[in-house]
Amino acid sequence: MYMNLASQQLHFNPQITLFDRVKNISSAAKNLKNNIKIVFSDIDGTISPNSDYLTPKTIDAIDYLYKNNIPVVLTTARCYKDTLPIINQLKHKPDYTIVLQGGGLLNKDGEYIFNNTISSKAGKELVKWFKSIRKDDKDSHLIMYFNEQPYATSKIQFPWKTNLQIKNVLSFDKLFNKQSELKKAMIYKRNAADVKESYSQNKVIDSFYAANVKDLDIKPSGSSIIEFQNKWVTKDKAIDFLLRVLKIEPKNSMVIGDSSNDIEMFDFVRKHNGLAVAMGNADDVVKQHANAVTDSVNQDGFFNTVKNLFTGHI
């Protein structure tokens, strides 16, 4: 069954003030112990410290939650195919997975419950704008995911491990003409860390908004990646939708993440008195939107969070 999030009338303004009373997870856990009924977790930088690797402790923590009837919903910017290396390491398949920054929700069998794609018109406008900025920046590359397969007009491959190799095409026109589903788009800035003094992601963002590309919004994800999705697509709306389906109150949910694209779900859950946990490796601005901070991904922060929140032994 396919449903459009926009039709659900789920209106929420995440622009609330920063939280100034961030606690260590062990302190926050005292008030929320055993009240959490569902966990929404980002992947990269949260449960996976390096590409598609999960530590044994993380796998055990997710298994512990599963055995205690607490679903763990992976909530990621990845497309579904790119979550499979993570899912396949788990002892049990997740009942639900939120992908594409909230643009898709799938069940245990990998079937879409809702699927929100970018229109060809918006995609073509994005390509036109990108060509205008790439004249002065040959190290930026536009990657577009048609039917979950990434394509680029420049010869580029992801520098990180992935089971999805980028296919090189002369133009995106044929893909638009085939009416393939455009799941998401992203700009990858090669060597962004090496040229940080001369490269400004904010200038790219300002240029995008000045171009007024209709229906699309920017989702920054680290210093080298900018992702694009429909304006009405956000992680918090997808979480809200699933909570309503499952009849779980937001106050009984936990979200955990490390990136700026997790702030929307932090603000939503925190607004409803749930638990928003920032990883220790998150930027300070992300931590300010959480009401608890755990250890870094390299210190098994997800495992330690579960251990603090729930009685018993993992």
Mean pLDDT within 132-160: 89
Residue 261 inside a domain? The answer is yes
Cα–Cα distance between 259 and 263 in angstroms, integer?
Answer: 7
Q: What is the CATH number of the domain that holds 283?
A: 3.40.50.1000
Q: What is the pLDDT of residue 25?
A: 83
> Per the domain annotation, does 30 fall within a domain?
yes
The domain boundary residue, chosen from 210, 230, 250 = 230
**Residue 67 pLDDT exceeds 50:** yes
Q: Is the domain of 63 the same as that of 144?
A: no
Do 45 and 94 belong together in one domain?
Answer: yes
Please state, in angstroms and as integers, the Cα–Cα distance from residue 36 to each residue in 47, 76, 248, 306, following that order: 18, 20, 10, 10
Mean pLDDT check: name the lowest of 184-193, 253-262, 291-300.
Answer: 184-193
Do 208 and 242 lie in one domain? The reply is no
Domain annotation covers residue 1: no
Higher pLDDT, 155 or 237: 237
Q: Considering only residues 10 and 106, tell me which one the structure prediction assigns the higher pLDDT.
A: 106
CB 232 within 8 A of CB 254: no
Q: Cβ of 280: how many Cβ atoms within 10 Å?
A: 17
CB 148 within 8 A of CB 183: yes
Higher pLDDT, 156 or 297: 297
Q: Assess whether 128 and 98 both reside in one domain.
A: no
Tokens of 243: 């909570």
Cα–Cα distances in Å, from 299 out to 46, 58, 69, 293? 11, 11, 26, 13
86 within a domain of the structure (yes/no): yes
Q: Of 230, 257, 279, at which residue does a domain stop? A: 230
CATH code, domain carrying 222 = 3.30.1240.10
Q: Give how many domains the chain has, as a whole number.
A: 2
Residues 112 and 125 in one domain: no
| Least trusted range by pLDDT, from 100-109, 175-184, 243-252 | 175-184
Asked whether residue 212 falls in the same domain as residue 259, the answer is no
Instruction: Identify whether residues 92 and 136 lie together within a single domain.
Output: no
pLDDT value at residue 163:
73
Measured between alpha carbons, how far is 216 from 171 in angstroms, rounded to an integer?
A: 21
CA 291 to chain centroid: 19
51 pLDDT tier (thresholds 50, 70, 90) = confident
Given 184, 204, 230, which residue is the final one in a domain? Answer: 230
- In this prediction, residue 11 carries a pLDDT of 30
What does pTM read for this prediction? Answer: 0.85
Domain that residue 125 falls in: 120-230
pLDDT in tens, 213-256: 889 998 877 678 889 999 999 999 999 999 999 999 999 999 99
- Highest mean pLDDT (candidates 20-29, 117-126, 127-136, 304-313): 117-126
